[in-house]
Structure 1
Amino acid sequence: MENKKLAIVGVTGLVGGVVLEILASEKIVPHINTNNLLFVASDKSVGKVIPFMGKDVRVMSVEEAISKKPDYVIMSAGATLSKEVAPKFVESGAIVIDNSSAWRTLPEIPLIVPSIPNPSLDESMTSGIIANPNCVAIMIAIAIAPFVDLGADMILVSAMQSVSGAGYKGTKALEEELKNNDGAKASISTFVSNIAGNIIPATSMSATVPKYNDEEAKMMFEVPKILGKSIKISAQSNRVPVPRGHSAMMRVFFKEEQSEEKLIDILKNAPQIKYSEEPLGPYDTIGKDYVIVRSFRQDVNNPKCFEFFIASDNLRVGAAYNAVAILGKLLGVYNEKNYS
């Protein structure tokens, strides 16, 4: 990485900040050269100085970053900006790893979780766009991947998404509502209703999948694409008043009966999974780069169905870690066992 130029677009945002944390550890991508880092943000942040690995790095505009022709770009700045500027970075010769929803549904764009084998990620790529999947889709795919070759063919998901999944505004909305304690929706909120002391639909309704919200539609489309398998998924997703860390209740249906003991043993040895019999939840995932799996059991009414709970840090597993891991994969230095 010493001789490669890396731009981080959206560096002042929630995910951008976590990208910096992971890069600074040099655990996934070693030998970071701070002289080859481009910190990029909106006009209001241009000129700001961010301390990083012993150096003060100045924040620049997108236009300036494009002119410097980076080799790689990690973009966490929303779908609208990505659609506008990602092709410009590609035209300048970069590989863009994009955290938004802008490119995920396009068949020609790889949708990657590095700990899950996927032939569409070609390490010889010299330019193009790679999509980082939806935060919940990533943790579902990681938890399900060990079972797809055993005949798992349907998944029912009930997801509980933290407010940080909606960025700074989501986090600030919960803080404001807890402070005011009057049941009113926060002035800064982009949620469909008040969130403090409440459970609400994760997002507005999908324009492509009738009767499902946007987050549910993303899970239903993206998980099969990540796995490279045709697997049926039905999802429910709600926003919960948890600051950080997504979770979900899962039910997986197999074509044939399976041994609970065998499936648990598989989970214990699967990459990027921490199997536990402790009462762990979203809080326990903060700062971690794995998916917790607990409460694994065979459905009492259906021997071909197994149910369990999963949780992960949505800012790391669901965004920043996965993006940096994709970079590591492209550089040939990614190790699926090397996570916090």
Structure 2
Amino acid sequence: MGYKVAVVGATGNVGREMLNILAEREFPADEVFALASRRSVGVEVSFGDKRLKCQDLETFDFKGVDFALLSAGSTVSKEWAPKIGAAGCLAIDNSSYWRMDPDVPLIVPEVNADAIEGFRKKNIIANPNCSTAQLVVALKPLHDLAKIKRAVVATYQSVSGAGKDAMDELWTQTRGIFVTDPPAPEQFTKQIAFNVIPHIDVFMEDGATKEEWKLTVETKKILDKSIKLTATAVRVPVFVGHGEAVNLEFEKPITAEEAREALREAPGCLVVDKREDGGYVTPVECVGEFATFISRIREDQTIDNGLSLWVVSDNLRKGAALNTVQIAETVINRNLLNKAA
């Protein structure tokens, strides 16, 4: 018997990618529903070789639906995830709203799949921030090997993480510069074309941005609360794919070769680390891929037990849509739904 799956926010970047991944991975669904706001009712979206017409979230009946994959923002998730859960449908939420709720598991299946069983308290599972997801996939095998004490992360985040309008702005500004149209920032605080902006999400009282805070607290919740982490989140003029420069300090000695071998064996990781021109992965090359790519693995000679590495992933996939689908697959594989019990 197959499952019934509803994708909430089906017309957005991540919602469309969820539908693509459900089809690509041949998720065992008998029925898939595309849901959106009333203004998008009737809009068609692709699901494999089919076209689905969007239905109105406000009037949709979630009874009998097994999974709802939400990617419509925190406001929608705040209201609808509890309603969906109360209807007996498991809500897997891609927004930030539920991530730090102690009664909602925050899951990256390659890292903390055992924590998934806690979803029964609210019938909600949270998906982490896009930068967090790829980071913890890379950190988990290294933490298991030598225990991470401290991490310093600088992100290079593509504009797709801010939505379709942000991608349009990068395109419009880039084209405009070549035809002498002055760039007009709307989605970003400054010009994004041919520039980098060290500002993602709102500023907090301590001077960090909320994106940087998310990386810190989510990594602690998913991996280990004892890890000290500081981050600088930067938006770069790339359409899809996030990069991260990561510096780690460990409790135990660890060599670059030991790290390389551990990462090669780890689920979700793909090591491309040749010390030659082009012997590393960039955002352009990771687009459309499921893996988290790790390159530039090297020992940091400035501290004891230190490593530096470069981590790249498709933020619309592992950072959002893929991880959401993997959570649903994990629930099925562990027979955690009443239907599958």
With the length of structure 2 as denominator, give the TM-score of the two structures.
0.90
- 1:329 Cα deviation from its structure 2 partner: 0.4
Deviates more, 1:193-202 or 1:257-266: 257-266
Aligned equivalent of 1:191:
188
Displacement of 1:190 in angstroms is 1.8
Q: Distance in 2 between matches of 1:234 and 1:124?
A: 29
CA distance in 1 between counterparts of 2:34 and 2:201 reads: 32
Query: 8 Å contact 2:104–2:122 — kept in the other structure?
Result: no
Report Cα offsets for 1:134-154 as digits up to 9, x if no partner: 000111101100122322111
Flag the 1:69–1:267 CA change in 2: closer, same or farther, 3 A.
same
User: Residues 266, 252 of structure 1: CA spacing in aligned structure 2 closer, same or farther, 3 A cutoff?
Assistant: same
**Matches for 1:264-279 after TM superposition, within 5 Å:** 264-277=260-273, 278-279=279-280
Deviation by residue 1:56-84 (Cα, 9 ceiling, x = unmatched): 42211112323554221000000011111
Partner of 1:337: none
SS of corresponding position for 2:117: coil
The match for 1:245 among 215, 232, 241 is 241
Is the Cα contact below 8 Å between 1:158 and 1:250 reproduced in 2? yes
Q: Which residue of 1 aligns with 2:212?
A: 216
SS in 1 for 2:188: coil
Q: What do the CA deviations read for 1:122-174 (whole angstroms, capped 9, x no partner)? A: 19949611110000011110110012232211100010100000010110010
Gaps of 5+ in 2: 274-278, 336-341
Q: What is the 5 A alignment of 1:20-99?
A: 20-27=19-26, 29=27, 31-33=28-30, 36-66=31-61, 68-99=63-94
Distance (Å, rounded) in 1 between the aligned partners of 2:114 and 2:182: 49
Higher mean Cα deviation, 40-49 or 281-290? 40-49
Runs of 4+ in 1 over 3 A off after TM superposition: 53-56, 66-69, 123-127, 182-187, 204-207
The percent of aligned pairs where both chains have the same amino acid is 34
**Contact kept in structure 1, 2:268 and 2:290, CA below 8 Å:** yes
Rounded Cα–Cα distance in structure 1 between residues aligned with 2:122 and 2:101: 17
Q: Which amino acid aligns with 1:10?
A: G
1:133 counterpart = 2:128: yes
* Corresponding residue of 2:7: 8
Distance in 2 (CA, whole Å) between partners of 1:6 and 1:32 is 7
1:228-265, Cα deviation, whole Å (9 max, x unpaired): 44211000011000111000110000123222221211
1:4-48: CA deviation from partner (whole Å, max 9, x where unpaired)? 221100111100111111111134x2x332xx2111011111022
Q: 1:327 — aligned with what?
A: 328
Task: Indicate how the Cα distance of structure 1 residues 258 and 132 shifts in structure 2: closer, same or farther if over 3 A, else same.
Answer: same
CA distance in structure 1 between the partners assigned to 2:289 and 2:207 by the alignment: 34
Tell me if the contact between 2:16 and 2:46 (Cα under 8 Å) persists in the aligned partners.
no
Contact 1:258–1:304 (Cα < 8 Å) also in 2:
yes
Q: Secondary structure at the match of 1:119?
A: helix
Q: How far off is 1:179 after superposition? A: 1.3
Match of 1:101 in 2: 96
Instruction: Give secondary structure in 1 for the equivalent of 2:114.
Output: coil
Confirm or deny: 8 A CA contact 2:103 2:122 kept in the other structure.
no
Q: Are residues 104 and 127 of structure 1, via their aligned partners in 2, closer, same or farther at CA, if it must alter by over 3 Å?
A: closer
Q: CA RMSD in A?
A: 2.0
- 2 CA distance for matches of 1:23 and 1:119? 23
Partner of 2:16: 17
Distance across 2 between alignment mates of 1:3 and 1:127: 24
Instruction: Out of 90-99 and 60-69, give the one that drifted further.
Output: 60-69
Do the aligned residues in 2 keep the contact of 1:93 with 1:126 (CA within 8 Å)?
A: no
Q: Quick one: which amino acid aligns to residue 327 of structure 1? A: A
The equivalent residue for 1:148 is 143
The one-letter code matched in structure 1 to 2:193 is A
